[in-house]
Chain A
Amino acid sequence: MDLIHPHSKADVAEILGEASARGTRVLVVGGRTHMDKGNPCETDIELWTTMLDELVAYEPAEMIAVVGAGTRVGDLQRTLAEGDQEWPVDAPPEATVGGVIASAPASPRRLSVGAVRDSVLEVELVTGDGRLVRSGARTVKNVTGYDLHKLVAGSLGTLGVIVQVALKVRPRPRVRRTVLVRGGLETAARLLERLPLPAAILATSETTEVRLEGWAEQVEEQTGAVADSAPVIEIRDGAPFPLARPWEGCPVVAEAAVPPSRLAPLLAELPQAWGALAGVGVAWVGLDGPDGELSALRERAAALGGIAPVVRGPGGLGEAALPAMEVHRRLKASFDPAGILAPGRFWGGL
């Protein structure tokens, strides 16, 4: 397997142009932190984006940062911290910004920060056949045509290589507190109902972590409200969220997504290796292997109107009937006409 490290957008365009001409299949790689997401696919070369790590523009007063797609999330967050801001996406520090956008993992703080795609204002993409195209704008609002930057979020490197992005960033909360309480999903649901504006509520089988972020006075106020609703085990300031990831040690981890009220039936018969985001409908589920248990989880998720792609270990995305399959096919054919970008890695065999 050849590893290629382009140093510029032009390099990427040249490499992909040539790969398309020769039919060389390309796997796009960032920080290798989300590579397990996606169906198995055969490729001939790996294109690493990690050299595309330029800080193009950052004005704290605009709350926008423009960076090369290979920028490490940790480096970006450090730069933003100097302006007292953050990219409101939770991802490992060694992940690249482009990789996070392409794989679109759910942030544990999703309740308050939203989806990864919500923070992507502009994308520069090199298409499968080597053309550099831009979509969006470096402004927080923008309605100017068709949002290619929406399509590439979560596209797993099957439509092109993200080379540069403009991100919507936000002030760093003054105080970040985790309140650990006794009780699982039911407790989490009660807290969601009673607690004004929590940053996140993560339930596990026995305990629930409530994340509070904001002004000092506000976090105090909310902490009181938590204590009124559930028995507090521990209060930690400034700690990473979540404190515990019981699913982490398992050979296979699925990131299930269902309408929020259906988390309980989804998780009812599972062992203890899971964590679920109240009010969001995301659950990370640890499994022993990619076989029976995973199929059962996926069947249950599908019956509840959701999905359960694997994000760690083998197992792929799973089967799902894509709506508007013809539209999907035409998009793939337009942006990757030679079909060289991780063929078969995406949903629907795309």
Chain B
Amino acid sequence: MADVDAARRALQDALGPSEVLSDPLSLALYARDASMVEGSCALVAFPRSVEDVVACVRIAAEHGLPIVPRGSGTGLAGASTPIGDALVVVTSKMTRILEIRPEDRLAWVEPGLPNLELATALAPYGFTYAPDPSSQQTSSIGGNVNTNAGGPHCLAYGVTSNHVLALELVLPDASLVRLGSEGPEAPGYDLRGVVIGSEGTVGIVAAVCVRLTPLPPDVRTMLFDFETVEDCAATVSAIIASGVVPAAVEMMDHGIVVAAENFAHAGYPTDAAAILIVEVDGTPASVRAQSEEVERAARAHRVRNVRVARDEAERALIWKGRKSAFGAVAQIAPHYHLHDCVVPRSTLARVLAGVYEIAARHQLVVTNVFHAGDGNLHPLLSFDRRVPGTLERVLRASDEIVRLCISVGGALSGEHGIGLEKREFMPLVFTDDDLAAQACIRTAFDPEGRMNPHKVLPEGARCGDFAMARGTDAAQAAASLPEGSWI
């Protein structure tokens, strides 16, 4: 049985009284992340050092509290939404850059450091940190590690897993281990690779060693607009087929273009059915060569206008519209539900048509802004949850959108993760044996199930000897959240 009072006293002793919260307002604040799921927690702790993180895990274990790691709370799948008498361990006060070593092309940082602050700090050295999720002003490196975060520039540069060399992890038994290596290879199984994308279920990331990527000498950002969504989507495949791998290929449909333009005044064509932002980078000669290929692909698909950013200011403006799109949708309705599915690039037009049809049938407004080059869709449903019956329609539409993406050979999540919101969908893409194997990996790190329980794997997925007697009905999806949580 959890002893919350004793745990609070022990935490206050270890971290200092001001770093432990248990008042009702704080507990309410930390009872959810940026997803639609709301949970509950017993205590909130703010470690300031690796030793503090170790103390949090030790004390939680001693007093029987489940542990929920949290970075900046921008997660969209509920991975940081606590359940029951949880201790929420918030790393947002661990924001230091510990070391930058350009000669080794690496930097050590604390997990709470916001992504953009790292990229900014590296720029004077001629380097950057490549993964750039749209939340990068707020989202933390530790959170990025836990969701294997992507971003617009993943197409050419890869996801978080390709850019994290090593990490310090506090295991659920409160031991501290260093996984991976400052060098290119580490002995043992790639535990580092498992921790990345594990959504806080195998330990707490206490420090991260990131790989530095040289800033490209030249970059060109182009904006294309189209009269049909089909032409825009077909251009994406044509660009890839031409042998160019742009640094980024982002697509925005009419609804989101209008909202973003109202907000960012980026000069987006608000009468277009869809726009494409394409960025190529490299040496000046390669940028010229790639731009020509990209433009040729767009012209072959009836592009209406081609706008090339003339300078850094214009480039920043084009990106501002894209990166603020999710904020801009507040103009459409007070609430939104953002999806994250990956589909084969060649099915983009078909899947988008399906998404529009689903939204129309459920009388919902849907807009799309997404990483088209990766096939990573982000349909965004806007609604007002105060209108009775709306939330139910949103959930039904969401369910259908996920199934549509899976039906064309897609993945459940490209960068947001499974968390609570999608765990009951896991049997749609994995067999019982697949899920049991995953449960074995999790159990190897956390045999007693202390870390972020209820997340990622559907109820019933057990390691055991792979023998699962599981009756999960995927049709229950989204509706069957753990007791104590609500949408």
- Chain A positions within 8 Å of B, measured between CB atoms, are 59-63, 84, 104, 106, 110, 114-115, 117-118, 125, 127, 131-135, 137-148, 150-151, 153-155, 159, 170-172, 174, 196-197, 214-218, 220-222, 255, 257-262, 279-282, 305-307, 309, 317, 320, 322-324, 327-328, 330-331, 334-335, 337, 346-348
Contacts and interface: CB of A to CB of B under 8 A. Distances in A.
B438 A148 contact: yes
B273 interface: no
Given A307-B185, A324-B191, 14 more contacts: A125-B437, A131-B437, A138-B344, A151-B191, A197-B217, A255-B185, A307-B181, A307-B183, A320-B187, A322-B187, A323-B177, A324-B445, A331-B441, A334-B463
B346 A61 contact: yes
B286 A217 contact: yes
A334 B177 contact: no
A148 B438 CA distance: 7
Given A196-B217, A305-B181, A328-B189, A141 B342 contact: yes
16 contacts: A63-B240, A131-B466, A135-B437, A140-B154, A141-B159, A142-B342, A146-B198, A151-B189, A196-B214, A217-B288, A221-B286, A259-B106, A320-B187, A324-B177, A328-B189, A348-B188
B194 A150 contact: yes
Contacts of A306: 181, 183, 185
Interface residues of B, number: 95
Contact of B191 (A59, A279, A281, A327): A327
B327 interface: no
Task: Enumerate the 7 nearest inter-chain pairs by beta-carbon distance, A residue then B residue, closest first.
Answer: A150-B193, A217-B285, A218-B286, A137-B411, A334-B440, A330-B444, A320-B187
A134 B371 CA distance: 26
B376 A62 contact: no
A184 B244 CA distance: 34
A318 to B, nearest CB: 8
Interface stretch (B37-45, B59-67, B415-423): B415-423
A146 B187 contact: no
B282 A145 contact: no
Given A131-B433, A221-B285, A154 B190 contact: yes
A140 B105 contact: no
A125 to B, nearest CB: 8
A218 B190 contact: no
B426 to A, nearest CB: 7
Q: Taking each of B285, B442, B444, which has the highest tally of chain A beta carbons within 10 Å of its own beta carbon?
A: B444
A136 B159 CA distance: 14
B184 A281 contact: yes
B190 A140 contact: no
Contact of B184 (A110, A148, A320): A110
A260 B103 contact: yes
A301 B157 CA distance: 29
Given A279-B105, A305-B182, A320-B187, A145 B457 contact: yes
Given A142-B413, A305-B183, A153 B190 contact: yes
A139 B283 contact: no
B179 interface: yes
Contacts of A258: 183
Contacts of B430: 134, 144-145
A322 B197 CA distance: 22
Interface string B122-164: 0000000000000000000000000110100011001101100
Contacts of A153: 190, 193
Interface string B13-25: 0000000000000
Q: Taking each of B171, B177, B193, B447, which has the highest tally of chain A beta carbons within 10 Å of its own beta carbon?
A: B193
Contacts of B184: 106, 110, 115, 257, 280-282
Contact of A132 (B181, B375, B433, B435): B433
Contacts of B187: 307, 309, 317, 320, 322, 347-348
B311 interface: no
Contacts of A331: 189, 440-441, 444
Nearest to A172: B243
B430 to A, nearest CB: 7
Contacts of A337: 465
Contacts of A346: 189
